[in-house]
Amino acid sequence: MKNNFQKQVKLLSGVLSIFLVLIFILFVGLFYLKNNPSFLQPELEEELVEISKEENDQIENGIHVQTGFIDDEHMDLVIQNCTSCHSAKLVTQNKMSEEGWKATIKWMQETQNLWDLGPNEAKIVSYLAKNYAPEAKGRRANLEVVEWYELK
Amino acid sequence: MNRRKFASKLTLATISGVLGTKLVFGNQMPRHYIPLGLQDPDPFKLFQKDSEMVLLNDKPWNMEAQAHLLNDKVTPNKFMFIRNNGQIPEKIEGKSWTLTINGESVKQKKEYSLAELKSKFKNYTYQLTLECGGNGRSEFNPPAKGNQWTIGAVSCANWTGVRLKDVLEDVGIKSDAVYIGYHAADTHLSGDSKKEPISRGVPIEKVMQEETLLAFEMNGKPIPIAHGFPLRLVCGGWPASASGKWIHTISVRNQVHDGAKMGGTSYRVPCETVAPGSKVEDANMCIIESMPVKSLITSPKSGALVKKRNTVTINGHAWAGELQVSKMECSIDFGSTWQTCHLEQPMNRLAWQHFKVAIDFPKKGYYEIWARATDENGKSQPMVLPGWNPKGYLNNACHRIAIKVV
């Protein structure tokens, strides 16, 4: 009976000390992790990738290289609002009057989920109407030949 | 470019994150395969197009040919224009693809697997002219809104499939059916999953034509992804937007189909002609049906320098929507005199016809060769722009090339 009690105490104290060691290790571990948060992250070969602002915002000959927009006041607003759904090419290949650009914005708001442009609308329309205005083309333009070549 | 290095370091999990969708069977993805959504946007490689094709738009993808690229009698994929209203679907499983036929005017809704369609109904192959309604838009004055197509948004490939009328006969349609509308897997540019980028259709009379196909092959191979894999409705001779790509549903309607791009100024022109630049009420706009008579000089390429004593052979194609072309002429003096060209019969109804003429030049100088087709009803192509309309459709003015005799 007494022997049995002593055995149980021994066993219990053994288990307790194991727990103590485990808790200690856990604390040390947590402390380490707190100071070295990347320790448990999978090993990713890290390399900083720089997408430089200059590369994206370069202007060459008055044209914004990345989008092809004409560099002018409010171009940034046009890029922000007009190129998240469609390509800048859909803007730059078109030519419209102020009224035409306004109607296009209205159509996109009614049918294509374009948001309310608020006070930016007037700025965007003025940029577009100034830089992408219609030119009179007449009923038939002259042919443009890119390159003359000898026909064999 | 640092961006490329970045992409190569991404794990599968990150790729899924970027795409905003789980890559099913990602573990089976070939090691060198880059998912469509992440590919370098080189559309020429992506869609296997010739480098001389002209990119008009990259979101959505729109690309056209140049006249001299279209010289083949049957247009190969590499020279076929791409027209999209929305984003090309990213994941298409041809094997599990189904076509549902529904709508007010079907006796019961029915679904077919692709394999069932192919085996249950007789297969037919037709060479069919598909021209974008807005081909030639760039010439309109005042300018019309949209992709500024010049002359290259036309093709005439071989399409293989089953007749839509055979399928509808199997489903059973009610006597009040007047129109069909297609629904497809492409996605709206805004990302709104409730919106369809385009859902057009044709009247039941067009549906019942033998050449109106549910096609699964183009030029003898599965349809390329940009052209509607795995199933495309093909309605030759009509604005190509009626030939819906990536079709999963056809609705048989008891009214004119009212899907996206069926109303407003989309693929519609003023019912009564208007002065250039006029504002036209929606109620006065009518849906475009058959495309008008038109032709294209595909050889030589514009800009040829020719020796005076040499005869120049002109080649090209002519087409007239639902009709046949009955006469083809060329002029080297801006339409003062016309020379009749040799004109071939079409391979089948709704296919373009090839023409040829040998031309001698009286003296040195700058010339333009003008081509003019006349349809079986006696209507010819105009030499200047035809009637102005708000979206710049149906420009069938004579095609011209420049030649210098030296």
Amino acid at B168: L
Decide if pLDDT at B18 tops 80: no
B42 SS3 class: coil
From A132, which residue of chain B is nearest by alpha-carbon distance? Answer: B143
Kindly determine whether residue B142 and residue A97, on different chains, have CB atoms separated by under 8 Å.
Answer: yes
Taking only residues 362 to 391 of chain B, the set having a beta carbon closer than 8 angstroms to any beta carbon of chain A reads 368, 383-385
CA pair distance A124, A73, nearest whole angstrom: 9
Q: How many CB atoms lie within 10 A of CB B80?
A: 28
What are the structural domains of chain B? Answer: 1-40 (no CATH), 94-287 (3.90.420.10), 294-405 (2.60.40.650)
Residue B12 has pLDDT above 70, yes or no: no
pLDDT confidence tier of residue A103, bands split at 50, 70 and 90: very high
Q: Is the pLDDT of residue A27 over 50?
A: yes
User: How many CB atoms neighbour CB B315 within 10 A?
Assistant: 17
Is residue B282 over pLDDT 50? yes
Any idea which of A31-40, A79-88, B6-15, B28-37 has the lowest mean pLDDT?
Answer: B6-15
Contact of B303 with A147, CB cutoff 8 Å: yes
Q: Is pLDDT of A54 > 80? A: no
A7 shares contact with chain B (CB less than 8 Å): no
- Round to whole Å and give the CA distance between A131 and A12: 85
Q: B333-355, pLDDT tens digit by residue?
A: 999 999 999 999 999 999 999 99
Q: What's the confidence (pLDDT) of residue B292?
A: 98
Chain A residue with the nearest C-alpha to that of B149: A93
ipTM value, please give it: 0.83
- Say how far apart CA B345 and CA B140 lie, in whole Å: 32
Task: Give the span between the Cα atoms of B164 and B158, in whole angstroms.
Answer: 17
Q: What is the pLDDT of residue A32?
A: 76
Residue B356, H or E segment: strand B353-359
Q: Which residues in chain B have Cβ-Cβ distances shorter than 8 Å to A128?
A: none
CA distance B212 to B202: 10
pLDDT score recorded for residue B27: 44
Q: Is the pLDDT at A41 greater than 90, yes or no? A: no
- What number is the average pLDDT over the span B88-92? 92
Contacts of A102 in chain B (CB under 8 A): none
Chain A hits for B259, Cβ within 8 Å: none
CB contact under 8 A, A113 and B192: yes
- Over range B176-190, report the average pLDDT: 97
Beta bridge partners of B99: B112
Position A40 confidence tier, pLDDT thresholds 50, 70, 90: low
Please give the pLDDT value at position B29: 45
Task: Among A23-27, B191-195, B198-202, name the most confident range.
Answer: B198-202
Q: Is residue A100 pLDDT above 70, yes or no? A: yes
Note whether A107 contacts B: Cβ–Cβ < 8 A: yes
DSSP H or E segment with residue A30: helix A2-35
Q: Could you tell me the pTM of the whole model? A: 0.83
The three-state secondary structure class of B130 is: strand
pLDDT of A35: 73
Q: From the list B312, B384, B400, which residue is nearest A139 (CB)?
A: B384
- Given a contact cutoff of 8 angstroms between Cβ atoms, the answer to whether B290 and B323 are in contact is yes
Q: Evaluate if residue B168 carries a pLDDT over 50.
A: yes
First to last CA, chain A: 117
